[in-house]
Chain A
Amino acid sequence: EAGVTQFPSHSVIEKGQTVTLRCDPISGHDNLYWYRRVMGKEIKFLLHFVKESKQDESGMPNNRFLAERTGGTYSTLKVQPAELEDSGVYFCASSQERGVGGYTFGSGTRLTVV
């Protein structure tokens, strides 16, 4: 079975530009999660989708971040406009069951804002 796929694997953009990250979960996984690790800090939860609905978006840092999951399949995370402090690694995970026991993480997207 294919794992959680994220792309691009790396992205370098200038401050003020827009970037869209994509996550393809494991087929059949209704739960999809975004996390990020800014430089030198902890990995932090951003939000959780159940199918196409946002179950919990308490970790979204501000309104420059927009996550979508149209049709309940893949998800995108758009940063507009990007700021220097948005640099870091963005992880996606999916699970079939609710709860943390069944997470599978993707390999992440490394975002660098210059």
Chain B
Amino acid sequence: AQSVTQLDSQVPVFEEAPVELRCNYSSSVSVYLFWYVQYPNQGLQLLLKYLSGSTLVKGINGFEAEFNKSQTSFHLRKPSVHISDTAEYFCAVSRPYGQNFVFGPGTRLSVLP
């Protein structure tokens, strides 16, 4: 079975500052890793995913994440955030060729002016 931990439930950060949202996972088998974002009153939108290959993955809106197998982590980063990045961010895993996700509890990012 897989599980996902997002240690920070809320992260406040000032506009144009860098941000890192942490994600750690536990799995007895290899996994695919994902970050989703939910803006207010919207659905879940895929930010980026790691399936294989380069451990540094670039996504939409300037976000990137790095897969670290030894640390079982997949932290999300952005060098300079905007007010519009205020949202809830979810880390998720799935088995390769699996049909469904296991999600973390989410991190609420608040970007302050």
Indicate with 1 or 0, residue by residue over B1-25, a CB within 8 angstroms of chain A CB atoms.
Answer: 0001000000000000000000000
Question: Which of B4, B41, B99 has the most chain A CB atoms closer than 10 A to its own CB?
Answer: B99
Does B34 have its Cβ within 8 Å of any Cβ on chain A? yes
A71 interface residue (CB < 8 Å to B): no
Report whether A100 and B32 are in contact in the complex, using a CB–CB cutoff of 8 Å. Answer: yes
Is A48's beta carbon under 8 Å from chain B?
Answer: yes
Q: Are B42 and A48 in contact (CB under 8 A)?
A: no
Contact (A101, B51) CB under 8 Å given A106-B43, A108-B43? yes
In the assembly, what is the distance between CA of A45 and CA of B100, in Å?
A: 7
Over the window 41-57 of chain A, the binary record of Cβ atoms lying under 8 Å from chain B Cβ atoms (1 yes, 0 no) is 11111001000000110
Chain A interfacial positions (CB closer than 8 Å to B): 3-4, 31, 33, 35, 40-45, 48, 55-56, 59, 91, 93, 98-101, 103, 105-108
Give me the interface of B with A, judged by CB distance under 8 Å: 4, 32, 34, 36, 41-46, 49, 51, 90, 92, 94, 97-106
